[in-house]
Amino acid sequence: MKNLMQQLNNLEDTTRYACDSSDLICFSHLRWNFVFQRPQHLMTRFAQHRRVFYFEEPVFITVEKPELRSFQKDGLQIVVPHFPDDYAREKVNETLRNMVDRLLEDEEITEFSTWYYTPMALTFSEHLAPKTITFDCMDELSAFKFAPPELIALEEKLMRKANVVFTGGQSLFEAKKHRHDNIHAFPSSIDFKHFAQARTDKQDPADQANIPHPRLGFFGVIDERMDIELLASVAAARPDWHLVMIGPVVKIHPDTLPKAANIHYLGPKDYRELPAYLGGWDVALLPFALNESTKFISPTKTPEYLAAGCPVVSTSIRDVVRPYGDEKLVHIADSPETFVKACEAAMEQGREDDTWKSKVLSFLKNISWDSTWAKMADHEKKCHKFTNHHISKEKYAQATQQ
Tell me how far apart the alpha carbons of residues 77 and 70 are, in angstroms, rounded to a whole number: 7
Enumerate residues 6+ apart whose C-beta is below 8 A from 402: none
pLDDT at 238: 98
pLDDT at 225: 94
Query: 245 or 13: whose pLDDT is higher?
Result: 245
Residue range 85-112: mean pLDDT, rounded: 95
296 near 177, Cβ under 8 Å?
A: no
Quick: pLDDT tens for 41-87: 999 999 999 999 999 999 999 899 999 999 999 999 999 999 999 99
Which residue in 388, 402, 13 sits closest to 191, CA to CA?
A: 13
Quick: pLDDT tens for 162-184: 999 999 999 999 999 999 999 99
The proportion of the chain whose per-residue pLDDT surpasses 70, expressed as a percent, equals: 91
Quick: pLDDT tens for 120-138: 999 999 999 999 999 999 9
Strand locations in 74-167 (E): 76-84, 112-116, 133-137, 164-167
Quick: pLDDT tens for 308-326: 999 999 999 999 999 999 9
283, with CB counted inside 10 A (0-12, 13-18, 19+), is buried
pLDDT band at 149 (very low <50, low <70, confident <90, very high): confident
pLDDT at 392: 46
pLDDT at 21: 81
